A and B are shown apart, each in its own frame.
Chain A
Amino acid sequence: MRRWLTFIGSRLVMMAVTMLIIVTVTFFLMHALPGTPYNNQALLSNDQLVQLNKKYGFDKPLLLQYLAYLGGILHGDFGISLQFSDQPVTTLMATRIGPSIQLGLQAVVLGTVLGVLLGALAAANQNTWIDRFCSSIAILGRSVPNYVVAVIVQSIFAISLRLLPVGLWDQGFRSTILPTLALSIAPLADAARFIRTEMIDVLTSDYIELARAKGMSEPMIVVRHALRNSLIPLITVIGPMIAGLMTGSLVIETIFSVPGIGEQFTKSILSNDYYTIMAVTIWYSAVLVEVVFLMDVLYQIADPRVRIVGKEGE
């Protein structure tokens, strides 16, 4: 127990330090981007620019701005969005993150479940037509960019067949179907191939041979032992997948007119909307760092042979 506490404690500290460094690096990099955050620069006079910079505090030396920003964070003030005329960034993020998270999670769940099924089928029937079929799907999934898939499904289901909405986010769950489909192709492909490899490995190992020798039926072996043991390593793959998908996909969001954070983020970078850039970066790295941490913990719990906690020195 004490080992766990020490582990968690030290990791938390480590995570905080990592995030701090990420934030700092991003802050200074971001200010190195040429351009100003004022959208209407064409019509601003130099006097006005001075006034505006004074108002938003951009005339102070960078270091002071940085410290002020950090101080603000501690109070929960993440600044305002200059693109959106002074909307607090937290409001902006709150409305935009939802759709991205929803799509991301749905895509991961759909993709992983189907992928595991495909991969398991393929592995259990290695080198038969089933294997080849499932593997082909997986390979195709990795070979086609998700925006091509998006345009295809949009053409078929929304425009030609009129079964689903072309875009926007106003029809509840129905609006999420096509974007989820497009986004899930990649996780599906990855999960399928991963599970296939893992399971093949497991299915040819000694203890499985033993189970067979003892007379256990093949389906039982696959489900009870092989699948179970293959799923555990899958955790490490899903983690980064989730982190990536939760930050929103710019392209999918544009094609389906989804009000998510991916598209917002790219626009912020291109228009120097400082506070928004920082907030999204913090969100992104927080998710990533936490996901990594969680994965390690989960993995440790699931597979006690692996020792992360309480590693001995070399």
Chain B
Amino acid sequence: MSVADIGIAGVVPGEIAGVRHGVEHGVKRDGERRDDVRGVERDVTHDVTRDVTRDVADGPADPAAVPDALFVPRAAAVADHDAADVPHLSHAVQAWLRLRHNKTAIAAAIVLVSLFVVAFSAPVLAPADPNAQKVEYANLPPYWFSDAAEQYRLIGAQNQHFVLGTDQFGRDLLSRLLYGTRISLTISLVAAVLDIAIGVTWGLVSGLASRRVDDLMQRVLEIISGVPSLIVVVLMLLVFQPGLVSIIVAMAITFWITMARVVRGQTLQIRSLEYVQAAIVLGTPRAAIAVRHVLPNILNLIIIRLMFSIPTAIFFETFLSFIGVGMKIPNASIGTLLNDGFKVVRIYPYQMWIPAAVLCVIMLSFNLCADGLRDVLDPKMRG
């Protein structure tokens, strides 16, 4: 499959800015990376030396003139040993506070949530059975279109109200769209999660392993990415039944590669930090290092990538349906709706543009949310 078909390069920029393909990263930004390592809160500038109010015009202070009462040692309980003078907010809360200001991302999130709710309530909301054919009502435009009333009357459908029209078999497009969105969202969520799971594990293992094992794993990665994924996908869909499960498996198999590379890069970088080196030397098992040190730091990255890979998964699913190896007949997904609509786009344009609009809204919302999240979570973007 060519990457061109899913509309993006295999590598998503921005969040992987810190990782070059095949390159050891640690060198460039060692010093600057310190402050995103967990455990060190971002310190508000606080000048602790200003205990004494002094006017500059007063001239240099005479230490003997400072009353003894002021020299009170700070009572430092062990408990607030590390406390700064700002309220201790957890990482997530801080992120949320920052995110709140990003109206776009909030709006996008609301749209997304509503989409999810609507789509997953398809069984309740859909006015008709999405697969029920009534050929007499084929290819009717949405009833609120200007010239629709006439067409409806001509075939005796004047009391039907197809909100989004019908397709070539007379099936209600609104219902198909609802169910289709549900399926597309499901597929992409599951695929994205699988992608993250496999990719993260691979990347962690590869990044923390010995040089030889790492090299081997990288080569395997290169090989897997070299075999055209379309062959694997088609093979799977031919050997197993076409449908939900095989699409998800096909996508999971091909998508995790970039994630693995990214995670590996970050892992290598974190690994080169002193305290991690220390942990290794002290004999901490790799698994513990992975979970305790690496994972929390790349969590941001993972979340961001998750948000970005969902749209990619949706694209891929629509592409598969587009070339005809997607969902099983007669089930609808956004991809099959697009495909069916595309074939008649010059005669019944609404059949393509409506699913296309929905797809764009979904993608936009995910991207805007992901952008917002990234602006908030990615330390480089904090300005």
Contacts and interface: CB of A to CB of B under 8 A. Distances in A.
Contacts of A22: 223, 226-227
A84 B20 CA distance: 42
B7 to A, nearest CB: 5
A126 B14 CA distance: 15
B28 interface: yes
Decide if the interface of chain B is mainly helix, strand, loop or mixed: helix
A151 B11 contact: no
A311 interface: yes
Contact of A34 (B10, B27, B238, B364): B238
B13 A197 contact: yes
Interface residues of B, number: 60
Contacts of B234: 33, 269-270
Report the contact-size class of chain A (Cβ under 8 Å from the partner): 35 or more
Contacts of A299: 20, 23
B368 A139 contact: yes
Interface stretch (A167-175, A218-226, A240-248): A240-248
Contacts of B356: 144-145, 148
Interface stretch (B44-52, B286-294, B317-325): B317-325
B323 to A, nearest CB: 6
A189 B7 CA distance: 10
Nearest to A146: B7
B63 interface: no
Interface stretch (A43-51, A55-63, A301-309): A301-309
B4 interface: yes
B161 interface: no
A265 B228 contact: yes
A267 to B, nearest CB: 10
Contact of B322 (A251, A277, A285, A313): A251
Decide if the interface of chain A is mainly helix, strand, loop or mixed: helix
Given A22-B223, A147-B322, A270-B234, A187 B14 contact: no
A79 interface: no
A142 B227 contact: no
Interface stretch (A65-73, A86-94, A208-216, A289-297): A289-297
Interface in B305-326: 311, 315, 318-319, 322-323
Interface string B215-242: 0000100110111101110110011000
A14 B24 CA distance: 18
Contact of B219 (A14, A251, A306): A14
Interface in A252-272: 252, 262, 265-266, 269-270
A26 B231 contact: yes
A284 interface: yes
B83 interface: no
A186 B315 CA distance: 12
Contact of B223 (A21, A197, A233, A270): A21
Interface in B21-46: 21-25, 27-28, 32
Contacts of A265: 228, 230
A244 to B, nearest CB: 3
A183 interface: yes
A306 B4 contact: no
- Ranked nearest first, the 4 interchain pairs of A and B with the lowest CB-CB distance are A244-B3, A194-B13, A143-B363, A285-B226
25 contacts: A22-B226, A26-B228, A33-B235, A126-B383, A144-B7, A186-B7, A190-B12, A191-B13, A194-B14, A197-B380, A200-B381, A204-B383, A236-B23, A240-B9, A244-B3, A244-B9, A245-B4, A247-B3, A247-B4, A249-B2, A250-B2, A251-B5, A265-B230, A289-B222, A292-B222
